[in-house]
């Protein structure tokens, strides 16, 4: 009984400290909100890599001096930082090009269009939306546009560009958000003589913060006139990555088309053999659970979107065909139980990854630890 009473007393003290910790976190969050207003007033970006690096290094040293386990304060700080980034309120971002002219999002009632409309509005811009039922109003809206963002399915992007371009003032910046860049940028250049930017947000509309998200920008025409758009993205904390349309499309064949295809095929195969997913989850390691969640995530979304991405170019089809051709010899190798050849291929591939292999092992270890921490049953 004495041990039990001692345990209850210790738990009561821990609970009291947790209450104090919650109060401190609330106070810290309030200060973060004040700081975000100050940053906006000074036109500072939502994310400062230097400030984050200083916080993590400084607090890690202090935690080590206090005898706390390595990594504990970093885990806590990263969580707090993530909350501070996504907790930025309305009007918290500086407007880098104040104007009475609107930013127009064609397809702005779609999920991605809504996301960017929200960020632009929170930055103090006038935002106008044109959707399928708004074409009768579009000439008056487009005639005043400061910039226009085409945010529609890949299959109809060229058609929309051709429809919008003749209605734009000559200094308007015409942009698109599609995941295929070379043909879309070419279409904008052909139909419009003003400034052109090809953009590709490398994230979905369900993000909680723009901080550290990648937005790819490919060259078009008179890019200097669209510089404020890229700077606004950076103001939100996004990482703007520039490349050529051709380099972008080649990379996306691997990053998106091939990856989505293999995920789709794995999900289809599971549906064919129909294992009990609850049982599979109960038996799974953290890495398999995460992989299965990524498969399930794809099938929770719009099939038309993924069909458009995978089938958007012959380059994608050719790469997938090349991938399929590599599978047969690998299957022949394991069918023959040729462990020596398997080991040889494995080591050749490891050599290709080089130092990234060890880095990916460390980085994924931290991610898998988080997945395991959040695991509760199935």
294: enclosing H helix or E strand: helix 286-299
What are the phi and psi torsion angles at 361 (to 5°)?
-65, -45
Does the structure show a pLDDT above 60 at 137?
A: yes
Q: What is the pLDDT of residues 289-346, one digit of tens each?
A: 999 999 999 999 999 999 999 999 999 999 999 999 999 999 999 999 999 999 999 9
Provide the pLDDT for residue 70.
82
What are the phi and psi torsion angles at 71 (to 5°)?
90, -20
For every residue of 167-229, DSSP letters joined together read: GS-TTPEEEE--S--HHHHHHHHHH--S-EEEEEESS-TT-S--TT-EEEEEEEE-GGGGHHH
End-to-end CA distance of the chain: 36
pLDDT > 90 in the chain, percent: 78
Q: Are 255 and 248 in contact (CB under 8 A)?
A: no
The structure tokens listed for 254 are 């691997």
Provide the pLDDT for residue 263.
98
The reported pTM is 0.85
Q: Are 174 and 184 in contact (CB under 8 A)?
A: no
**Higher confidence at residue 193 or residue 376?**
193
Q: What is the pLDDT of residues 150-190, one digit of tens each?
A: 999 999 999 999 999 999 999 999 999 999 999 999 999 99
147: enclosing H helix or E strand: strand 147-150
Sign of CA dihedral 110, 114, 202, 371: negative
Q: Are 187 and 158 in contact (CB under 8 A)?
A: yes
Which three-class secondary structure state does DSSP give residue 108?
A: coil
> What structural domains and CATH numbers belong to the chain?
2-86 (1.20.59.10), 103-243 (3.40.50.720), 249-373 (1.10.3660.10)
Does the structure show a pLDDT above 90 at 378?
A: no
Provide the pLDDT for residue 126.
97
Provide the pLDDT for residue 85.
80
- The count of C-alpha atoms lying within 13 angstroms of the C-alpha of 7, restricted to the half-sphere facing its C-beta, is 4
For every residue of 307-344, DSSP letters joined together read: HHHHTS-HHHHHHHHHHHHHHHHHHHHHHTT-HHHHHH
Q: Are 235 and 122 in contact (CB under 8 A)?
A: no
Does the structure show a pLDDT above 90 at 262?
A: yes
pLDDT > 70 in the chain, percent: 96
For every residue of 352-374, DSSP letters joined together read: HHTHHHHHHHHHHHHHHHHHHHT
Provide the pLDDT for residue 120.
97
Exposure string of 235-272, with b = 16+ CB inside 10 Å and e = fewer, is bbbbbeeebebeebbeebbeebbbbbbebbeebeebee
The structure tokens listed for 84 are 């501070």
Provide the pLDDT for residue 283.
93
- The count of C-alpha atoms lying within 13 angstroms of the C-alpha of 329, restricted to the half-sphere facing its C-beta, is 7
CA dist., res. 363 & res. 129, Å (int): 41
Q: How many residues does the chain have?
A: 378
CA dist., res. 219 & res. 196, Å (int): 8
């Amino acid at each position: 009984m004495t041990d039990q009473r001692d345990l209850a007393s210790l738990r009561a003290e821990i609970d009291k400290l947790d209450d104090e910790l919650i109060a401190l976190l609330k106070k810290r969050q309030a200060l973060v909100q004040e700081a975000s207003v100050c940053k906006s007033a000074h036109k500072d970006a939502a994310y400062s890599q230097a400030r984050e690096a200083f916080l993590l290094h400084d607090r890690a040293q202090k935690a080590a001096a206090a005898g706390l386990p390595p990594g504990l304060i970093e885990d806590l700080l990263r969580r707090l930082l993530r909350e501070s980034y996504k907790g930025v309120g309305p009007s918290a971002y500086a407007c880098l090009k104040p104007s009475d002219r609107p930013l127009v999002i064609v397809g702005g009632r779609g999920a991605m269009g809504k996301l960017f409309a929200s960020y632009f509005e929170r930055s103090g811009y006038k935002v106008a939306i044109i959707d399928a039922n708004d074409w009768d109003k579009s000439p008056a809206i487009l005639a005043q546009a400061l910039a226009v963002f085409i945010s529609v399915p890949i299959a109809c992007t060229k058609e929309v560009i051709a429809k919008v371009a003749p209605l734009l003032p000559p200094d308007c910046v015409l942009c698109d958000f599609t995941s295929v860049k070379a043909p879309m940028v070419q279409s904008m250049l052909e139909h419009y003589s003003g400034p052109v930017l090809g953009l590709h947000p490398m994230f979905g509309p369900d993000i909680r913060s723009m901080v550290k998200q990648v937005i790819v920008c490919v060259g078009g025409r008179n890019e200097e006139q669209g510089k404020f758009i890229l700077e606004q993205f950076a103001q939100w904390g996004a990482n703007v990555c520039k490349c050529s349309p051709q380099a972008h499309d080649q990379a996306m064949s691997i990053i998106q088309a091939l990856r989505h295809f293999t995920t789709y095929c794995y999900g289809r195969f599971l549906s064919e053999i129909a294992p009990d997913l609850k049982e599979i989850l109960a038996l799974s390691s953290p890495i398999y659970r995460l992989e299965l969640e990524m498969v399930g995530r794809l099938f929770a979304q719009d099939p038309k979107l993924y069909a458009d991405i995978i089938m958007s170019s012959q380059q994608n089809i050719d790469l997938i065909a090349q991938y399929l051709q590599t599978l047969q010899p690998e299957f022949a190798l394991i069918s023959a139980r040729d462990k020596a050849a398997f080991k040889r291929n494995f080591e050749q591939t490891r050599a290709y990854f080089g130092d990234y292999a060890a880095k990916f092992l460390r980085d994924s270890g931290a991610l898998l630890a988080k997945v395991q921490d959040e695991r509760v049953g199935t």
